[in-house]
Amino acid sequence: MVPHAQPSLSAASATPTPTATPTQCQLRVLIVHTELSGPPTAIHDQIAREQGVTEVEFWDAHRSTPTLQVLQQYDIVFAFDAGGDWNDPLAMGNVLADYEDGGGVVVVGDAAWYNYYHWYLEGRWMFDGYSPYGLTIQNLYDFNTACIIDKSHPLMAGVNELTAQNRNGVTLASEATAVALWTDGPPAVAYKTNNDRMAVGINAPLGNTGEFSADWGRVIVNAGRWLLNCGPLPTPAPTPTPTPGVCQLRVLIAYSDYALDFEPDALAPPNIARTRHCAGRLFRCLERHPPAVCTKPV
Give me the pLDDT at residue 83, please.
Answer: 73
Model confidence pLDDT, tens digit, residues 255-287: 455 444 445 555 555 444 444 343 333 333 333
188 has a pLDDT exceeding 80? yes
**What integer best gives the mean pLDDT of the chain?**
79
Choice among 81-85, 140-144, 153-157, 290-294 with the minimum mean pLDDT: 290-294
In the predicted model, what is the mean pLDDT of residues 4-18? 40
Give me the pLDDT at residue 175, please.
Answer: 95
64 has a pLDDT exceeding 70? yes
CA 36 to chain centre: 20
| Cα gap 99→194, rounded to integer Å | 13
Overall size of the chain counted in residues: 298
Q: CA angle at residue 118 from 125 to 44, to 5 degrees?
A: 70
Contact yes or no for 101/130 (Cβ under 8 A):
no
Q: How confident is the model at residue 105 (pLDDT cuts 50, 70, 90)?
A: very high
Give me the pLDDT at residue 263, please.
Answer: 52
Most confident of 118-122, 209-213, 221-225: 221-225
Choice among 86-95, 202-211, 279-288 with the minimum mean pLDDT: 279-288
Model confidence pLDDT, tens digit, residues 38-58: 899 999 999 999 999 999 999
| Cα gap 122→183, rounded to integer Å | 28
